[in-house]
Amino acid sequence: MKGRFLLAIDQGTSSSRSVIYDHDARVVASAQQEFPQIYPQPGWVEHDPEAIWESVTSVTKGAIQEAGAAAADISAIGITNQRETTLIWDRQTGECVYNAIVWQDRRTADYCQSLKNDGCEAAVADKTGLRLDPYFSGTKIAWILNNVEGVRARAEAGKLAFGTIDSFLLWRLTGGREHATDATNASRTLLFNIHTQEWDEDLLRMFSIPRELLPEVKDCAADYGIAVDDCIGGNTPVCGIAGDQQAALIGQAGFEPGMTKSTYGTGCFVIANTGDTALRSRNHLLTTVAMRLNGAVTFGLEGSVFVAGSAMQWLRDELRIIDSAPESEEIARRTGVVEDVYVVPAFAGLGAPYWDPAARGAVLGLTRGSGRDDVVTATLQSVAFQTCDLIEAMSDDGIKPSVIRVDGGMVANNWFLQFLADVLNVPVERPCNVESTVLGAAYLAGHHAGVVESLAAIGDLWQQDSQFAPAMQAPQRERLLVGWHDAVRRVRSDA
């Protein structure tokens, strides 16, 4: 096998990143670039596909250059991506017919509601494990077909291709030779039956989406063709694809049933591995494909919280009571656990398990003595409480994690992780490499290319940086959770 490096591309919501790893999963070089967000109307979020492509080629070239590598040094490429974001392009020219409609975009809320009113949600949930929500790709595809002139006819004639960002990048990297995606990305489209692992004809009919648009669905570690684009500098195989949250689970070596990871970036995403069981949640969590390797599907139970690290940005940029996100740690450390003030950061509604889009944020329990430090600490605490709601929902569904592996930018905050372990009453483990998402993409590519021989080998590479053991007494934990649930009740639109 050629090469001594792996290249992982992480195409995220606000930036694109490429990382070069050696075969022991050590970072050799990396480059990152932001790209513009487009907000055409309230509730709409788009990305310019050319800006995405430009950022990916630029960081890829940059990382390869920084590593002093040539294409011949790279054994394989892995891709991970912002999930659900939807693109349709022309198979002949590669040009997109519309901007990427981003996962956060709510333009299809009314369409989703009308399908719910028609009683469609149960069938959708049974087949896909998802909800009828604008978050997922299906209704975004339908919107483009119904609103961009000429697109439906071209789609029906087989001239167009749909893809999530992974497919789009793959198409471009392989010079238009490969139209494929992996099972984790497919499982977020509302069109993929997670039980049969096939595109579902009934769902395609429900959304009026022509079958001709869809990519082939492959395992996460598979032959995805050869990247021939100039940004790589030579022919290199693409061997791995997974959506960002699933890639993080892989980067955290979460291969056994019950293993759970929680990622703290802008939002917080928890996935628990449920093995070969597609567990149906009673608590509004999603059932998703956690990974598909060698044809075997591993399912996951997923919960997401919209506001996590971004609450720190709110303290910094809107309230202007901290100068930087890390300052929140110093403040919380000197303040200690706050029991009377609660911040509910429902700025964009509440995610799982409440799914209340109309809820809005609040600061509750203020007294004459409450100050900035209480609000900052209570905001950090709110991220832990929200995680606690997800883990409680998972436990009630029958998945009770014995330890939680965390990653993402916010886990630099030790005070936060200790408080998290305390309120969850579960040990929290932080790995040495907290960039699990991009690492997961590298592992997938390395696995298929034969660099990483087995999943067990990935497990062996996982290294703990610190473990935070629960140390809070039960009465205090219970008081805090009662206070939190009372605060949530007061912001809910449907309570």
Q: Which residues bind ligand ADP (CB under 6 A)?
A: 12, 14, 265-266, 309-310, 312-313, 325-326, 328-329, 408-410, 412-413
Could you tell me the smallest distance in angstroms from the CB atom of residue 346 to ligand ADP? Answer: 17
CB closer to ligand ADP out of 14 and 467: 14
Of 204, 180, 189, the closest CA to residue 137 belongs to: 189
CB closer to ligand ADP out of 14 and 65: 14
CB closer to ligand ADP out of 175 and 326: 326
Could you tell me the smallest distance in angstroms from the CB atom of residue 468 to ligand ADP? Answer: 14
Could you tell me the smallest distance in angstroms from the CB atom of residue 416 to ligand ADP? Answer: 6
CB closer to ligand ADP out of 326 and 371: 326
Could you tell me the smallest distance in angstroms from the CB atom of residue 9 to ligand ADP? Answer: 14
Could you tell me the smallest distance in angstroms from the CB atom of residue 246 to ligand ADP? Answer: 15
CB closer to ligand ADP out of 364 and 412: 412
Could you tell me the smallest distance in angstroms from the CB atom of residue 347 to ligand ADP? Answer: 13
- Residue 456 φ then ψ, to 5°: -60, -35
CB closer to ligand ADP out of 13 and 187: 13
Could you tell me the smallest distance in angstroms from the CB atom of residue 57 to ligand ADP? Answer: 20
CB closer to ligand ADP out of 349 and 408: 408
Which residue in this structure is represented by tokens 């449920």?
274
Q: Which residues pair with 164 in a beta bridge?
A: 86
Could you tell me the smallest distance in angstroms from the CB atom of residue 407 to ligand ADP? Answer: 8
Could you tell me the smallest distance in angstroms from the CB atom of residue 382 to ligand ADP? Answer: 12
CB closer to ligand ADP out of 12 and 300: 12
Q: Which residues pair with 33 in a beta bridge?
A: 16
**Burial class of residue 420 in the structure, from the number of CB atoms within 10 Å of its CB (0-12 exposed, 13-18 middle, 19+ buried):** buried
- Residue 241 φ then ψ, to 5°: -145, 135
How many other β-carbons are positioned within 10 Å of the β-carbon of residue 252? 30
Q: Pairing state of beta strands 404-407 and 260-264?
A: parallel
CB-facing half-sphere around the CA of 204: CA atoms within 13 A: 14
Could you tell me the smallest distance in angstroms from the CB atom of residue 418 to ligand ADP? Answer: 13
CB closer to ligand ADP out of 410 and 420: 410
CB closer to ligand ADP out of 205 and 372: 372
Extract the tokens encoding 60.
Answer: 């890829």
| CA–CA separation, 54 and 412 (whole Å) | 30
Could you tell me the smallest distance in angstroms from the CB atom of residue 168 to ligand ADP? Answer: 20
Which residue in this structure is represented by tokens 């471009």?
172
Could you tell me the smallest distance in angstroms from the CB atom of residue 423 to ligand ADP? Answer: 16
CB closer to ligand ADP out of 329 and 429: 329
Of 442, 476, 483, the closest CA to residue 8 belongs to: 442
Nearest residue by C-beta to ligand ADP? 409
CB closer to ligand ADP out of 219 and 407: 407
Which residue in this structure is represented by tokens 């900052």?
376
CA distances from 144 to 5, 103, 133, 205, 482 (A): 39, 14, 16, 16, 45
